[in-house]
Structure 1
């Protein structure tokens, strides 16, 4: 067995200087990433991850969904911690990612240096191991391929697993180069680090085996000796696989997005990985083009990868030969293959090629490259060349990080490099929706569907149809949502938004029961997400179910897009429930928090009016309109206030202008109709009642007034269906509605129907003198 002693002691100055150089270089390379927004999987894994609310709960990450944190409790815990570190800001998460990367660079430096100082590698080691170790760590940490694992938050999975992988190897090395009384403690720490890594990402699966192979390559020099002298340690180390097995079970097969049952042909996946590995190697030495997301493309023909496969087979044979003869290059090759093995051999359906998988694999590759340079060019020349390369890579990395500065820029860059990536088209569709460009969004989602017509892309296209606001496209969107939702489990991407939008569209079409079911299902699926609570509260409000509207509207108050609208509706719901003081308190609180919001000021004015402070309300309405004359909702409420105070000419003027500015304002249409009725102009009132009901079919008061107006005008055939619908909905005043309907039938000489409805009116209200008198006047049957 080779003695695990060092051939030289690193100078104290270099021992401090090297980590500082690494940290400074990494800080410079990633200093402008602190404001990079949440991207792609970040949303589900961080923003909408309810388990991050509690540190204890974070140890049980979401299961069965296939999100990045599924089955990775330590990764999930790290996001809970960085969320608290940055007080919920992006900067906190990014700082932790950069810190982990810097720690990995320092660990790699220490591991390489410690290995080069072992007597067993003295004939291979350079004379300046400190400089070469620093060169390797710099080249590895500044390479632009690492940006995805550092700048893209959720890919902390790679860097965190690499941290524990490197820490496991380094602690084991230290355990063999320290006095026996410290060695036992370091071996325990090695096992602990390995177990923790198993809870970070599945790539750790090879770590126990690689420790054994490291022992064989650099310490014990053969496997039997390594096993015999440290059998109990290796049994403990291999037992850490139990942690990984438990994590995989907890993940629920990662929502069937990975594994042999993920629906991806294994042979096609292997063909694709043959190309992927050679592609990674090319990018390591010529990092262009670097791609954020490669999509789900598979290579289905061996002819397409014949040459890459041949080169890969030759490389693997060479690595195996070098490993068999116990050469350091053999160990480096095995480490490279072992890190890539989990995602090479186990199909990942959602992304067949991913640059972040090379994060740790680049370490043995660059270590071998720098040491080869040292032998071929001389040690000083190799160090200078590596320093020059590292400097060049810093600026390439800085440039690459600029692509991450917005969601639009990263997906535009991806599409420019991979135009056949349906996920990139899908994501660009969302970018356009965010920018309120529905036509461009439809084109993007349509491109995604043409490339891959799966339920997720279909739902995306339906989102664009919904956003366009074209009533002619609503039926198509409803059909697409129903089709897609029937084909996927609730854990799929886009299901929440699809449920929410489907509920919204069905509510607009008057299919209320199904609409309420979908909206409630969406909220139950993801209580933290926005959209569905507002849609549900709005639907309950339109149905006059104000008490039921309050709970979802309170949830929606935190919605960054619809929070003001939710507050406005909640104030109005509370007013409708007679809870004037609660409504006023809420309106004052929201207005104080957001004084520039005209909508919140409007609801505050409504609460003031309801509480009897009419002068204050009038002043607020007029102040709002002075600031925003084209704010029809404020003009509507001012008209309603004038109507309530019997200022009919003023009410008519304001409401007529409000309807002109926004013909789709149901409240303006219905109140203007009432003003016209009070002004003795029933003919003019009818079209406004009809417009109000077209916009708000559940407005029972407007329907009742319209039916009465039509009856007054003698339009019996038009009046009767409105009365019938009100009776079907059991709308109050139900007895009077039966009486009015009976009068309409009597005027049509349909005395049987008239008699039946007069009788029903009297059954509901025996003291209804009008119905009693009307019934007496009917001809005898």
Structure 2
């Protein structure tokens, strides 16, 4: 990237006299205008190679970033990805697929990733990075071709201008969310198709042969249609293409339509596709549109604040926030100066469209790109979002690069290189924040403390890491900000359940259901909590309600059958489990439940068979390993039981019951030395258990470590004075120790 900053960047009258387009040729274009071949142009292939390498190096650190935020519903819980590729299912993303909902092209690319590598996150990141590089290269090529339509001033390097603008844009930290978050590839896809549409319009107007012109026109319409199926912001692409034609190709709106009527007819038809997609995904699952709790006026005021924030982040990209929540401005007085800035910029754009068309085009392009998401149509889940600046940022960067023509050539190169390095390091640092959910949401809460969703996500990260205490604090903070936040009530219940506070957990689940009565997973969670508290009849009602709302809910099916066992309806439970396994033969939980049901009915061999299937499907399923070991042990098959006890203890080493069961089995097999190791581990977890101290003493004595055994017996007696068994074995051990000492 050193090369591009050394060339003089005196752009040909870009913002001042780069206004009047050259006269169109007979086809309404400028096919005859060609810049002569020069050594610099013959070396032009270095520019895209350098751009590709610099961008890839900057973002390569994101390859192992886990699925974050909306990635999980879009990828991990998106059943249409499992339909194979290609398939009709991938073109019909579900309503809960976050950024893929109503966007079949986005969902199709996710399905392709899943077909190639399943849920391996690396493939998804490589695809996102490839898209980002393609957008940067397309931007570079479009800038070059557009600037060649005008007479360059002496000493101007069009390639230097194009690669500088594309390079600074590609490594800007403001784009990190769009590249690193998997589902935000919708921004990359729509940007790619938007730029391809403009590029194809350019080629259609400037290509010499009729066949080539028609081919490029078809390419433009196809790219526009794909963009419409990628994200709704593509709605302005036909207008921007027409404005581009008027500014740089035909010289007037009428001339553009006259020369390329069929092309613009095709572009207009893509609006029909977009309308169909929008109508078939009404209000994008209740998050976009009118009558959803935010008025158009309030949303417009909020966007005044958002636009000024975006401009600030384009210049100084700190702090960056992945989720601002849904802040809403209700009074003009709260954003008067931001509104003034926006109005001034709009006024300048309108003036420039008349007096300085090239500059006016860039300004209009910026506003038109943001208009679908940042004007008066409310997007209720995210009123401010940095990823919306993915393509609009390219306009701002190009304006800055063009403005730098006023600086001396060497100073311009030095300044651009310094900016490139600073932006690249900023992006590399920002990527590190995405490496864990904990770091991402800790930073988000820091800069958006009033965002309840950020507190919710941080709480979920804490809960996943086993820190239920701090998770409860985050969920309670989210509820203080937004008391009617059903998801926060639900997650609070999960955290309380993890702490064993079952009654409090039930209250939290009921609060979630009061807000959202058909909250299916909350019914399931409440049923689980009630079952753990021994209220099996009430739990059964909750599972029935969950299945009434979602009959294919596997967790609720398994939990319901488990409750039937507790209600002594073993035959009903067995029938339910068998039906579940016919539909889900790989369900380890169903095999576990059926095994327990057979065991409760006294059919141990059938139980052992099902539990073996469970551990084969899921070796880390502790309950299956432990229950299987118990059945094998009861059947006198201790040697077979020990590996399953060991697997359970290895998976959850901090559960003393697992260590004790393994140690007991080892003692019965005569492996006292190994048993002593696991009794010791259990003692460390329960140091005040007199019985456990005695068991450890017996294992130590059996392995010939009498002095240590006596010490453990004495500790047991201190913990429980008068413990008869400990006194008995202590006397025996002392006697054995004296005998061994008296031997010659």
The normalised TM-score by structure 2 is: 0.78
Match among 577, 593, 598 for residue 569 of structure 1: 593
Q: Unpaired segments of 5 or more residues in structure 2? A: 1-22, 25-29, 668-678, 687-744
Give the structure, 1 or 2, with the largest relative contact order (CA under 8 Å, sep 6 or more).
Answer: 2
Partner of 2:370: 340
8 Å Cα contact 1:531-1:556 kept in structure 2 = no
Cα 1:106–1:523 shift into 2, 3 Å: farther
Matched, 1:221 2:245: no
Partner of 1:546: 574
8 Å Cα contact 1:171-1:186 kept in structure 2 = yes
Matched, 1:88 2:119: yes
Matched, 1:358 2:389: yes
8 Å Cα contact 2:496-2:502 kept in structure 1 = no
Match among 319, 328, 344 for residue 289 of structure 1: 319
How much does 1:276 deviate? 0.7
Measured in 2, the distance between the counterparts of 1:66 and 1:259 equals: 18
How much does 1:479 deviate? 2.9
Cα 1:209–1:630 shift into 2, 3 Å: closer
How much does 1:435 deviate? 2.1
Cα 1:332–1:436 shift into 2, 3 Å: same
8 Å Cα contact 1:462-1:480 kept in structure 2 = no
The normalised TM-score by structure 1 is: 0.74
Cα 1:566–1:280 shift into 2, 3 Å: same
Which moves more between the two structures, 469-478 or 151-160?
Answer: 469-478
Measured in 2, the distance between the counterparts of 1:596 and 1:478 equals: 28
Any idea what the Cα deviations from partners look like across 1:727-746, whole Å, max 9, x if unmatched? xxxxxxxxxxxxxxxxxxxx
Partner of 1:500: 524
Measured in 2, the distance between the counterparts of 1:9 and 1:526 equals: 67
How much does 1:171 deviate? 1.4
8 Å Cα contact 1:422-1:451 kept in structure 2 = yes
Which moves more between the two structures, 184-193 or 440-449?
Answer: 440-449
Partner of 2:342: 312
Q: Unpaired segments of 5 or more residues in structure 1? A: 643-653, 662-781
Measured in 1, the distance between the counterparts of 2:550 and 2:402 equals: 52
How much does 1:15 deviate? 3.4
Measured in 1, the distance between the counterparts of 2:308 and 2:586 equals: 48
Matched, 1:112 2:140: no
Would you say how many aligned residue pairs link Structure 1 and Structure 2?
A: 634
Partner of 1:27: 56
Match among 399, 418, 421 for residue 429 of structure 2: 399
Measured in 2, the distance between the counterparts of 1:49 and 1:602 equals: 33
8 Å Cα contact 2:490-2:522 kept in structure 1 = yes
Cα 1:594–1:476 shift into 2, 3 Å: closer
Partner of 1:172: 201
8 Å Cα contact 2:58-2:427 kept in structure 1 = yes
8 Å Cα contact 2:581-2:591 kept in structure 1 = yes
Measured in 2, the distance between the counterparts of 1:580 and 1:423 equals: 48
Which moves more between the two structures, 27-36 or 58-67?
Answer: 58-67
8 Å Cα contact 1:164-1:193 kept in structure 2 = yes
Matched, 1:39 2:68: yes
How much does 1:61 deviate? 3.5
Match among 478, 481, 484 for residue 448 of structure 1: 478
Any idea what the Cα deviations from partners look like across 1:576-615, whole Å, max 9, x if unmatched? 56776665445445556766776544344355468x6645
Any idea what the Cα deviations from partners look like across 1:322-346, whole Å, max 9, x if unmatched? 1123521100011110110011121
Measured in 2, the distance between the counterparts of 1:209 and 1:629 equals: 64
Partner of 1:122: helix, strand, or coil? coil
8 Å Cα contact 2:90-2:104 kept in structure 1 = yes
8 Å Cα contact 2:304-2:338 kept in structure 1 = yes
8 Å Cα contact 1:62-1:251 kept in structure 2 = no
8 Å Cα contact 2:628-2:641 kept in structure 1 = no
Cα 1:51–1:193 shift into 2, 3 Å: same
Partner of 1:325: 355
Partner of 2:161: 132
How much does 1:111 deviate? 0.4
How much does 1:30 deviate? 1.1
Matched, 1:240 2:260: no
Matched, 1:632 2:657: yes
Measured in 2, the distance between the counterparts of 1:282 and 1:358 equals: 12
Measured in 2, the distance between the counterparts of 1:623 and 1:293 equals: 44
Matched, 1:468 2:468: no
8 Å Cα contact 2:76-2:119 kept in structure 1 = no
How much does 1:84 deviate? 2.2
Cα 1:269–1:587 shift into 2, 3 Å: same
Measured in 1, the distance between the counterparts of 2:664 and 2:107 equals: 54
Partner of 2:692: none
Measured in 2, the distance between the counterparts of 1:200 and 1:618 equals: 55
Match among 514, 528, 534 for residue 483 of structure 1: 514
How much does 1:275 deviate? 1.0
How much does 1:383 deviate? 3.6
Cα 1:484–1:202 shift into 2, 3 Å: same
Any idea what the Cα deviations from partners look like across 1:693-720, whole Å, max 9, x if unmatched? xxxxxxxxxxxxxxxxxxxxxxxxxxxx
Partner of 1:264: helix, strand, or coil? coil
Partner of 1:156: 185
User: Higher Cα Rg: structure 1 or 2?
Assistant: 1
How much does 1:125 deviate? 9.5
8 Å Cα contact 1:63-1:251 kept in structure 2 = no
How much does 1:399 deviate? 0.3
Which moves more between the two structures, 41-50 or 630-639?
Answer: 630-639
Measured in 1, the distance between the counterparts of 2:151 and 2:190 equals: 30
8 Å Cα contact 1:36-1:404 kept in structure 2 = yes
Which moves more between the two structures, 617-626 or 377-386?
Answer: 617-626
CA RMSD of aligned residues (A): 3.5
How much does 1:242 deviate? 0.9
Partner of 2:4: none
Measured in 2, the distance between the counterparts of 1:285 and 1:501 equals: 47
Matched, 1:17 2:46: yes
Cα 1:12–1:528 shift into 2, 3 Å: farther
Cα 1:551–1:272 shift into 2, 3 Å: same
Which moves more between the two structures, 176-185 or 571-580?
Answer: 571-580
1:699-718 → structure 2 map (5 Å cutoff): none
Measured in 2, the distance between the counterparts of 1:46 and 1:307 equals: 41
Partner of 2:299: 269
8 Å Cα contact 1:618-1:638 kept in structure 2 = no
Partner of 1:385: 415
Any idea what the Cα deviations from partners look like across 1:4-47, whole Å, max 9, x if unmatched? 43324475654321221122111111111111111121111111
